[in-house]
Every structure is written in C-alpha cells, then in structure tokens.
Amino acid sequence: MSSMWWLILIALGMGAAGLAAFLWSLRAGQYDDLDGAAERVLLEEDPDDKGQTRSEM
C-alpha cells in the first residue's frame, strides 16, 4: 500500500507541473496568434537567390 501512495503523489506532482507549464505558456502569450504562423508559411516568399538555379548552387 505504501507504493500506492508514492504513485499517487508522483501523479499529482506531474499533473501540477503540467498545469503550471500550461499556465506559464498562457501568461507568456504563446497562444495569442494561433493562425499567424500557419499563414506566414503559406504567404511568405523565398529570399531572392539572384537568378541562380539549384544546379548552379
């Protein structure tokens, strides 16, 4: 039965750590712009490579 208490305490500790990490990420603004990164990937153009093709690089 003693090992059951250790497992419960470890599980509660891990849950509290996960909740703390989630709350930290909310306060740090990690979820402010969820669509921005996805749109930047689609809309952003490659930098100008001065007309070189891949075979010339």
List the structure tokens of 23: 């709350």
Query: For residues 55 and 57, what is the distance between their CA atoms, to the nearest angstrom?
Result: 6
Cβ 31 vs Cβ 25: under 8 Å: yes
Q: Is residue 5 part of a domain?
A: no
Q: What is the pLDDT along the chain (57 residues), one digit of tens a residue?
A: 799 999 999 999 999 999 999 999 999 999 888 888 778 878 867 666 555 666 655
Query: For residues 23 and 30, what is the distance between their CA atoms, to the nearest angstrom?
Result: 10
Question: Residue 25 is part of which domain span?
Answer: 17-43
Domain count across the chain? 1
Query: For residues 13 and 5, what is the distance between their CA atoms, to the nearest angstrom?
Result: 12
Q: Is residue 3 part of a domain?
A: no
Write down the pLDDT at residue 44. 63
pTM over 0.75: no
